[in-house]
């Protein structure tokens, strides 16, 4: 990892105010343009920036500054750091404690069954396994397939619910919407439901005969009159 100057503009402000280095030397050391260093010296730039002493931060020595002041062509060099910061390791599969490694196949089986949209790389990130193991569990060729039981990796403590939701969301992006058959739709089409309850067979409807209706009413009236006469 290459060394980098901390707060270059604040360092330039300090060098302008406290040394006799040229603008080009300060610009080269602080990775700035010479005109920008000149603007700092003229008070036109970095007015609100407090100077940072590179000697106090261990990035520049007094001897190096003296050599630069004595020779305008001298290029300032960063001092070697006293403490080496190790390079960050490349991210790999999630580390799984030894006590929980026996639960990984069960978690993989649960993910394969409940979230088939997840890719092998995503499953590997969640539970810290290999692509070979995932393929064996998918194809039921794992040495312990007969004894595996699907178990939620969140419950097992192999990953967090947030990580699982994030991977599922990533896998779902770009997928086509499910069809009615895939979603298990049971609703009938609107054209079909409009006919329900209103599809009468007009041929079976009986025609109403007005004469027969009035004749029946007359017979009822006559029967009632005869009953009243019998009462007297």
Q: Which of 51, 70, 89 is the last residue of a domain?
A: 70
Q: Which of 70, 87, 113 is the last residue of a domain?
A: 70
Shared domain check, 108 and 58: no
Shared domain check, 60 and 17: yes
Shared domain check, 104 and 63: no
pLDDT tens digits, 23-79: 999 999 998 899 999 998 888 887 778 888 998 888 888 999 999 999 989 999 888
Please check the confidence at residue 227 and state whether its pLDDT lies above 80: no
Give the Cα separation of 114 and 130 in Å (integer): 19
Nearest Cα to 153, choosing from 204, 209, 194, 94?
94
In total, how many domains does the chain have? 2
Residue 91 lies in a domain: no
Predicted local distance difference test score (pLDDT) of residue 71: 92
Residue 166 lies in a domain: yes
Shared domain check, 148 and 108: yes
Nearest Cα to 152, choosing from 165, 143, 171?
165
Greatest alpha-carbon span in the chain? 152
Residue 200 lies in a domain: no
Q: Which of 174, 202, 225 is the last residue of a domain?
A: 174
Residue 121 lies in a domain: yes
Residue 133 lies in a domain: yes
The total number of residues written for the chain in this structure: 232
Residue 126 lies in a domain: yes
Residue 202 lies in a domain: no
Residue 66: give the domain boundaries: 8-70
Residue scoring higher pLDDT (176 or 21): 21
Full-model pTM: 0.39
């Amino acid at each position: 990892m290459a060394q980098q100057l901390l707060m270059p503009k604040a360092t330039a402000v300090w060098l302008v105010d406290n040394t006799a280095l040229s603008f080009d030397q300060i610009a080269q050391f602080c990775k700035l343009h010479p005109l920008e260093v000149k603007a700092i010296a003229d008070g036109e730039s970095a007015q609100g920036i407090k100077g940072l002493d590179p000697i106090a931060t261990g990035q520049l020595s007094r001897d190096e500054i003296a050599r630069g002041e004595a020779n305008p062509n001298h290029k300032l060099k960063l001092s070697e750091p006293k403490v080496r910061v190790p390079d960050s390791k490349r991210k790999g599969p999630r580390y799984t404690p030894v006590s929980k490694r026996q639960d990984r196949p069960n978690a993989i089986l649960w993910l394969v069954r409940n979230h088939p949209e997840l890719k092998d790389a995503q499953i590997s990130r969640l539970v810290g396994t290999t692509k070979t193991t995932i393929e064996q569990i998918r194809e039921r060729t794992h040495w312990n397939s007969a004894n595996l039981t699907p178990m939620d990796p969140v419950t097992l403590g192999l990953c967090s619910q947030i990580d699982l939701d994030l991977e599922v969301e990533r896998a779902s992006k770009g997928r086509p919407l499910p069809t009615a058959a895939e979603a298990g739709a049971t609703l009938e089409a609107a054209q079909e439901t409009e006919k329900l309850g209103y599809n009468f067979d007009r041929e079976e409807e009986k025609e109403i005969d007005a004469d027969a209706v009035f004749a029946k009413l007359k017979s009822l009236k006559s029967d009632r009159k005869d009953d009243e006469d019998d009462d007297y």
